[in-house]
């Protein structure tokens, strides 16, 4: 059986915390689908096409460990998980702040689909505080983001911030 996982999120943009979680997930999965949610509600900085293209570049080093597929999606995560044949949904846990939200979503998702399990992974302490919103803010305010994102992502953030 091919073990397939879905890692859903907004990825606006993908950062080293996300890559850390993916690196852990591929230890027990054969294939990991990165589901890029359209999520216009969050007012993303990067368009869906840009977020997918950025992720394609950033996940490249993980491709020697497992099959990685980047797919945009709309609608319910559990429906998309079924569509891609995932047995597990992977989520990252940062701090207590993530817990309440993840707890509610997972409880609901369990009702929606009883066969698919959600697993939570923790990033290395160096990556635990990373968050797309703060990274974008730092880039816009002229700060250095190279510790938080890959070189390709940094270049795109600089371009958006008009700093190229
Ligand atoms: P969303 O907008 O749905 O929260 P994100 O793109 O911010 O999605 O993140 C996708 C997933 O990655 C979520 O499960 C989130 O908790 C997790 N994540 C984001 N940043 C980190 C981090 N620094 N460490 C661990 N998990 C993280």
* Residues with C-beta less than 6 Å from any ligand 1 atom: 9-11, 17-18, 21, 91-92, 94, 98, 123, 127-128, 130-132
pLDDT of 109-120, one tens digit each?
A: 999 999 999 999
pLDDT of residue 3: 98
Mean pLDDT for 146-162 is 96
pTM of the predicted model, to two decimals?
A: 0.96
Mutational test site, ligand 1, from 18, 22, 72, 125, max ligand atoms within 8 Å of CB: 18
pLDDT of 29-85, one tens digit each?
A: 999 999 999 977 878 999 999 999 999 999 999 999 999 999 999 999 999 999 999
119's CB contacts (< 8 A; 6+ apart) are 5, 25, 88, 89, 90, 91
Query: Are the beta carbons of 32 and 9 closer than 8 angstroms?
Result: no
Q: What CA–CA distance (Å, rounded) separates 27 from 17? A: 16
Q: Whose CA is nearest to atom 1 of ligand 1?
A: 9
Instruction: For residue 163, indicate whether it is catalytic.
Output: no
Over the chain, what is the mean pLDDT?
95
pLDDT band at 95 (very low <50, low <70, confident <90, very high): confident
- DSSP letter string over 126-150? TTTT--HHHHHHHHHTT---TTTS-
Task: Enter the tokens of residue 153.
Answer: 């992502």
Q: Give me Rg for the CA atoms of the chain.
A: 15
């Amino acid at each position: 059986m091919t073990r397939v996982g879905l890692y859903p999120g907004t990825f606006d943009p993908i950062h080293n915390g996300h890559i850390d979680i993916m690196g852990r997930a591929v230890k027990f999965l054969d294939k990991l689908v990165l589901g890029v949610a359209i999520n216009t509600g969050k007012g993303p900085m990067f368009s869906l096409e840009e977020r997918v293209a950025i992720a394609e570049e950033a996940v490249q080093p993980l491709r020697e460990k497992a099959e990685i597929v980047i797919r945009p999606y709309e609608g319910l995560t559990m429906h998309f998980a079924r569509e891609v044949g995932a047995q597990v949904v992977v989520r990252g846990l940062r701090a207590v702040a993530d817990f309440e939200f993840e707890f509610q979503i997972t409880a609901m998702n369990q009702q929606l689909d009883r066969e698919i399990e959600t697993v939570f992974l923790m990033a290395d302490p160096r990556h635990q505080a990373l968050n797309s919103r703060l990274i974008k803010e730092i880039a816009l305010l002229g700060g250095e983001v190279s510790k938080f994102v890959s070189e390709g992502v940094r270049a795109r953030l600089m371009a958006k911030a008009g700093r190229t």
